[in-house]
Structure 1
């Protein structure tokens, strides 16, 4: 069993935030927050795997009442350096079972984080837990990448996803179990510890969009919308990711 506390440790929490760049770029974060605020429709929102508050804090600044669930001690400690419990209450625990309350209008899980759950059963339980948090008609929003198996060379099980100065991302696939390990290689003079290179690894279980929709149905949801990105561009066969919006139409599982 993978110890997520060891993956999302103090080093990960310390290096997670990149203000103004990457997933913190206003061009990325702005549409994310604007769309979630609209989908909350004036109600309360709960973020599963709230992390350091990348989305939750600006969403709260936009006037949405936000709560969260977070497993990692280190990520939660980093969040608490930015905002107090009175502003964004967070329950520490597993997003498949932990409860931050009920009656929310919106639950959301962004930036591929559902793939941190490494079995199909855990991923289904995440949907069921989201349903338990929501009021009737509430929405569950998931942002997730599309597996790029078509880019695997014949006879190989790895792809280079990012290659840029100082950083290399290589994904290795186990197609039998739908597992991916992302290898993050950082190198160059900017490393603070004096090493020539550092490598970090994170395991994932990838999910096809159709499989995700079936998980939703098992928990009482139906697909309301699917976009290629937060700008609501059309999702196509060539899309590298998707934002899927599910609405709770059946009774929440107990």
Structure 2
């Protein structure tokens, strides 16, 4: 993991997602928090769950788990950050969600699940290949025969980088008051590590810098991780509307199925 004086988490128990981050996580302007996107995502997950239960790896504040539970799907979540998990019950349906505090690379919870899912690029928060493989093994250990594992993650933006460039901006958003926000990724194509950098500037010129370490992973690499865990690819879409994945897709929603006994 890279070292930087700005990068030390401000709460050791919650790593990169302490109270200071959890407090504003549900106020995000990301498309993923749009109610229409949430509903479409929950539609897919409920369809895959059928008459079974769902397990969310890195459940966060319950953005998806709570509305999925309202659909009548029993939901259990695994979450490393206590600050994030503490907000699940505040959402409609959140009181129906069981949450286990633990690391999604190794945690085990009781029960058997029809679908497990890991969304919104969170597989990249695991910054080693071995750790990402362990996420697939966690999912497989909890799925019933024939169950599904769903991962939503971006496609590495290497086609946007000419030789010698290692930084790709993803948001530049000035505001009318004279401040604004800039987001950019800095990638290391040798290690597949990158940092997601977030710079917020106030109208008085004051600023806040925060960055998160990630490991990017290719679709084909994920397929191999799935095979190591006894699963095979059954769907790969560009998004939750099930649009076909193409060479120009910037992200994918992939579904693997555990072998039936």
TM-score, normalization: structure 1?
0.91
Aligned residues, how many? 247
- Which whole-Å deviations, capped at 9, do the CAs of 1:217-249 have from their partners, x for residues lacking one? 000000010000000001001100000000001
- Which whole-Å deviations, capped at 9, do the CAs of 1:140-178 have from their partners, x for residues lacking one? 000010000111132121011111232211100011110
CA distance in 1 between counterparts of 2:29 and 2:172 reads 20
- Which whole-Å deviations, capped at 9, do the CAs of 1:182-212 have from their partners, x for residues lacking one? 00112234xxxx8722111011100000000
- Which whole-Å deviations, capped at 9, do the CAs of 1:42-78 have from their partners, x for residues lacking one? 2100100000000101111111110110001211122
User: Which runs of 5 or more structure 2 residues have no equivalent in the other structure?
Assistant: 3-8, 175-179
- Which whole-Å deviations, capped at 9, do the CAs of 1:75-134 have from their partners, x for residues lacking one? 112224447986111110000111122310010000010111111001111101100101
C-alpha RMSD of the superposition: 2.0
Query: Does 1:222 pair with 2:232?
Result: yes
User: Which runs of 5 or more structure 1 residues have no equivalent in the other structure?
Assistant: none
- Picking from 54, 63, 77, the partner of 2:86 is 77
- Picking from 224, 240, 249, the partner of 2:250 is 240
CA distance in 1 between counterparts of 2:188 and 2:30 reads 31
Aligned to 2:196: 182
Aligned to 2:144: 135
Aligned to 2:23: 14
- Which whole-Å deviations, capped at 9, do the CAs of 1:6-38 have from their partners, x for residues lacking one? 310111101110278632102321110111110
Contact 1:102–1:132, Cα closer than 8 Å, also in 2: no
CA distance in 1 between counterparts of 2:15 and 2:78 reads 18
Contact 1:70–1:76, Cα closer than 8 Å, also in 2: yes
Aligned to 2:183: 169
Matched residue SS, 1:229? coil
Aligned to 1:152: 161
Aligned to 2:60: 51
Query: Does 1:119 pair with 2:133?
Result: no
Matched residue SS, 2:41? helix
State how 1:194-205 maps to structure 2 within 5 Å.
196-205=206-215
Matched residue SS, 2:208? strand
Contact 2:69–2:93, Cα closer than 8 Å, also in 1: no
Contact 1:221–1:250, Cα closer than 8 Å, also in 2: no
Could you list the structure 1 runs, at least 4 aligned residues long, displaced by more than 6 angstroms after superposition: none
